[in-house]
Amino acid sequence: MNKRLRELLAKTLFIKDIKCLFCNRELDFDSRYCVCDDCLKSLPYITGKICKKCGEPIKSMAAYCMRCKNHVDRGFDVARATFLYKGVIKDGIINLKYYGNKYLAEYLSSFLLDSYYKYDFKSDVIIPAPMSAKSLKARGFNQAEMLCSAFIDKGLDVNTNCVAKVLETQNQAKLNFKDRQTNLVGAFKVVNKKAVENKNVLIVDDIFTTGATCSEIASALKKAGAKRVDVITLCHDMPEDVTN
C-alpha cells in the first residue's frame, strides 16, 4: 500500500478533533454516543431488579421500592431510566444544564432512545417536561426538550407546546422529599387537550429524583384525557433516606 493511499484511508476511517463527551480524549472511531470505550464501560447503567412502578433499582425480593410500596401518589403509570445519577453521566448532565454545553444533549438523547426501545414503550406523543417562563429565560434552554432530539430524528411525535408550567415554584433540588410532593401541586397545565386525549403519552426528563415533577405532569395529562402516561429519564437518583 503506497503512502498516499494510507493517508487517504486514515482520513476516511479516523475522525479528527472529535473528543469523548466525558474525558475529552480524542476519538479515533465513529461513535453514535461520542464516548470512548473506557468511559462507555464506566457508565452506571441500571441493571438487575427494579421497582415495577418507578424503575428504582431494588435489592430485596419486593416488587416495589419503599416509596411506591408506601403508597406515595404516582400520577404516572411506569417510569424508567437508563443510568444511576452518578459518575461521568452525572457530570455530563451538570455540564449540559448549568454550564450551557448544549451539544451534549444530542448524544445523551441517543441513550434515552435506546431505553425507549428497550422498555418497549408504545407512545403516541412524547412530551418533554416543561420549565416555567422565568426558569427558561434564566437558563436559555430546556434540557428536557433538547434530550428529545433522537426521538425527533426517528420520526416520533414530540410535542413541546402541549404542557406548560404555569406556576413559579421553589427549586425542587433544595427541598426534602415531603416538601417536593406538595411544591408542584397545580404547577402544570395542559394547554392543548386534543394532543393527548385518548393517547399514550411519554414524559421525557433528565433526572428522576422523587418523581414529584413527573407525577404532577402526569396527573395534569390524565385530567386532560390521556389514556396512559409513562416516564423516561436519562438518570434515576437513588434516595439516601430509603432502603430496599
Q: Does one domain contain both 60 and 144?
A: yes
pLDDT of residue 184: 67
Q: What is the mean pLDDT of residues 197-216?
A: 95
> Is position 71 within any domain?
yes
Q: What is the pTM of this model?
A: 0.86
CATH number of the domain residue 218 falls in: 3.40.50
Q: Does one domain contain both 19 and 53?
A: no
> Is position 117 within any domain?
yes
Between the alpha carbon of residue 10 and those of residues 28, 32, 58, 65, 192, the distances in Å are: 10, 19, 47, 51, 52
Q: Does one domain contain both 7 and 102?
A: no
> Is position 243 within any domain?
no
Q: Does one domain contain both 100 and 156?
A: yes
Q: Using 50, 70 and 90 to split pLDDT, how confident is the model at 12?
A: very low
Q: Does one domain contain both 118 and 183?
A: yes
Rounded to 5 degrees, what are φ and ψ at 205? Answer: -150, 175
Q: Does one domain contain both 148 and 51?
A: yes
Read off the pLDDT of residues 70-87 as tens digits, 9 standing for 90 and up. 867 789 999 999 999 999
Q: Does one domain contain both 145 and 216?
A: yes
Identify which of 187, 211, 217, 207 has the alpha carbon closest to the alpha carbon of residue 127: 217
Question: Domain range holding 129?
Answer: 44-236
In total, how many domains does the chain have? 2
Read off the pLDDT of residues 99-143 as tens digits, 9 standing for 90 and up. 999 999 999 999 999 999 999 999 999 999 999 999 999 999 999
Q: What is the mean pLDDT of residues 37-62?
A: 94
CA 50 to mean position of chain CA atoms? 17
